[in-house]
Amino acid sequence: MKKYLADRTALIDASGIRKIFNLAASMKDPVNFSIGQPDFDVPEPLKQIAIDAIKHGKNKYTQTGGEPALCAKIAEKITAQFGWKNPSVLFASGVSGGLLLAFMSLINPGDEVIIPDPYFVMYKHLVNLLGGKCVFIDTYPDFRLHPEKIADKITDKTKIIVVNSPCNPTGAVYSESELKALAEIAAKKEILILSDEIYDKFCYDAPFPSIASIYPNTILMKGFSKSYAMTGWRLAYVAVPQHLKSIIEEMTKIQQYTFVCAPSPFQQAALAALDYDISDLIAGYKTKRDLMYNGLKDKFEIVKPAGAFYAFLKSPKGSGTEFVEKAIKNNVLIIPGNVFSEKDTHFRLCYTTTEDKIKKGVEILRKLA
């Protein structure tokens, strides 16, 4: 039979997370620790703004980079927060969309992208699809940033260093001192840092530090999916300082031929969300974190997550995949660590569910350990 598929399709596998997501739909009332989305809904006032936008005809294309008023407001907030003068902003279809546009704009075949391991699943596959080379930095067992390890891996082909803090899947939040050390390393060769800050509002034990306030050659990505429970709305933004504006210009050009624009009526809700206080919704996740951590810390090797809403636990015996199979047979859905890592020693647990479900899941996992 004639071969039709492009060779690049063999470079990626179907998402292990989505496989579990599909499995959950066929199970009866599982304890679902798998999918990374909040268990609260979009706040009612923001829903109403989106509904009103739809009713009042805000359903057509926006400008490719986003509604001008929205982009201007984001730029204003970034200037106030990080001191960037006249930042360039692109509104994207989720941070995932922003990542694709950024990598397409920046990565040539053979370019190296440094990625701390464990990592968000998309980084690896997008780099591979574009012919780049992933250079993984082993952060086990503490999941810290380890700038000295990154320094050892930098070559003349290094194009980007990816920073994801708070981190999916580990829940690690990198300290200001770690970020400053990384900035000094990157500055020696003017390497770009791509900072994925989708979980910036989920930071439980200390204020969130961003490398955008430290290092000028930063591509900043933030979004609304996690903080405002808008995972299905696909809303995020990418920003760079003025001297990197050509990156946003090229990303916008590629968006013209891919996503066209982010969903139009939801951009109206995003404009309001920038001033909407969701701290009361997020506060409950510290309680959930503590409930999960305290229930499992004596049975598993676990680093207490400081942010996001995940924990990355070491399998008590055997591979992470083997433990996940055992958990699923006991009606608990978790994700094997090799989805997020070059190793298969851990599993990811997401605690965005009710406290009762967390207690039930903890009890089952303790027995399995």
Identity (one letter) of the amino acid at 51?
I
Domain co-membership, 268 together with 283: no
The reported pLDDT for the residue numbered 49 is 97
Cβ-Cβ contacts under 8 Å for 223 (sequence gap 6 or more): 94, 95, 98, 198, 235, 236, 237
Q: What DSSP string runs through 278-344?
A: -HHHHHHHHHHHHHHHHHHTTTS-BPPP-BTTEEEEE-SSS-HHHHHHHHHHTTEE-EEGGGSSS--
Tokens standing for residue 118 = 């464990």
CATH number at residue 348: 3.90.1150.10
Residue 149 phi, psi (nearest 5): -70, -35
Domain co-membership, 231 together with 292: no
Tell me, yes or no, whether 231 lies in a domain: yes
Tell me, yes or no, whether 201 lies in a domain: yes
Domain co-membership, 118 together with 201: yes
Domain co-membership, 200 together with 213: yes
Q: Are strands 88-92 and 236-240 parallel, antiparallel or unpaired?
A: antiparallel
Domain co-membership, 250 together with 105: yes
pTM: predicted TM-score of the whole model, two decimal places: 0.94
Tell me, yes or no, whether 95 lies in a domain: yes
Domain co-membership, 81 together with 28: no
Domain co-membership, 20 together with 111: no
CATH number at residue 190: 3.40.640.10
The reported pLDDT for the residue numbered 15 is 60
Domain co-membership, 65 together with 198: yes
Task: For the beta carbon of residue 89, count every other beta carbon within 10 angstroms.
Answer: 25
Q: Contact 121/339 with Cβ under 8 angstroms?
A: yes
- Please tell me the distance from the alpha carbon of residue 208 to that of residue 325, in angstroms, as a whole number: 35
**Which strand (E) or helix (H) includes residue 133?**
strand 133-138
Cβ-Cβ contacts under 8 Å for 131 (sequence gap 6 or more): 107, 108, 109, 110
Domain co-membership, 246 together with 115: yes
In a structure prediction context, what are the per-residue pLDDT tens digits for the chain, which is 369 residues long? 788 988 888 888 766 666 666 666 667 788 999 988 899 999 999 999 999 999 999 999 999 999 999 999 999 999 999 999 999 999 999 999 999 999 999 999 999 999 999 999 999 999 999 999 999 999 999 999 999 999 999 999 999 999 999 999 999 999 999 999 999 999 999 999 999 999 999 999 999 999 999 999 999 999 999 999 999 999 999 999 999 999 999 999 999 999 999 999 999 999 999 999 999 988 999 999 999 999 999 999 999 999 999 999 999 988 999 999 899 989 999 999 999 999 999 999 999 999 999 999 999 999 999
Residue 81's domain comprises 60-273
Domain co-membership, 23 together with 97: no
The number of distinct structural domains making up the chain is 2
The reported pLDDT for the residue numbered 364 is 97
DSSP classification of residue 203:
B
The reported pLDDT for the residue numbered 2 is 82
Domain co-membership, 282 together with 265: no
Tell me, yes or no, whether 351 lies in a domain: yes
Domain co-membership, 97 together with 196: yes
